[in-house]
């Protein structure tokens, strides 16, 4: 059994005991999170597609850690003007472990 869920504008294919890295979510480490934006449910041979979400379906997950993604370098330069700017950015993210999928 697997589901396709939407978290922070991104879609993830998840099944039980999967670990995913998504955009930062509110909550403490070890807290349980219910994801109700389920786009598709599959249980072997049958599929249930939502319009846009499957009614009554939810995915239960546990927050494992909050961290930051790899650094993205932003470098700006204008030729012959002595203008150079170097900036970096690290996006916050959350690691989740899927505990259960309920239809």
Per-residue model confidence (pLDDT) at position 44: 84
Residue 53, C-beta contacts closer than 8 angstroms, at least 6 positions apart: 36, 37, 38, 39
Give 34-78 pLDDT, tens digit per residue: 999 999 999 888 999 999 999 999 999 999 999 999 999 999 999
Q: Which of 25-34, 44-53, 85-94 has the lowest mean pLDDT?
A: 44-53
Per-residue model confidence (pLDDT) at position 103: 85
Range of the domain at 84: 2-102
Number of domains in the chain: 1
State what percent of residues in the chain have pLDDT above 70. Answer: 100
Q: What is the DSSP string of 49-74?
A: E-SSS-TT-EEEEEEEEEEE---EEE
Per-residue model confidence (pLDDT) at position 58: 94
| Residue 17 tokens, joined | 């005991």
| Residue 68 tokens, joined | 């930051």
11-16-22-26 Cα dihedral, nearest 10 degrees:
120
């Amino acid at each position: 059994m697997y589901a396709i869920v939407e978290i922070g504008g991104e879609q993830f294919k998840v099944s039980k005991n999967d670990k995913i890295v998504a955009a930062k979510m509110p909550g403490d480490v070890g807290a349980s999170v219910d994801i109700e934006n389920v786009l598709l449910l599959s249980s072997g041979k049958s599929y249930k597609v939502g319009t846009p979400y499957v009614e009554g379906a939810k995915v239960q997950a546990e927050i494992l850690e909050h961290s930051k993604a790899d650094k993205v370098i932003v470098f700006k330069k204008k030729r012959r003007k002595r203008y150079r700017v170097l900036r970096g950015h690290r996006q916050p993210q959350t690691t989740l472990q899927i505990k259960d999928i309920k239809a």
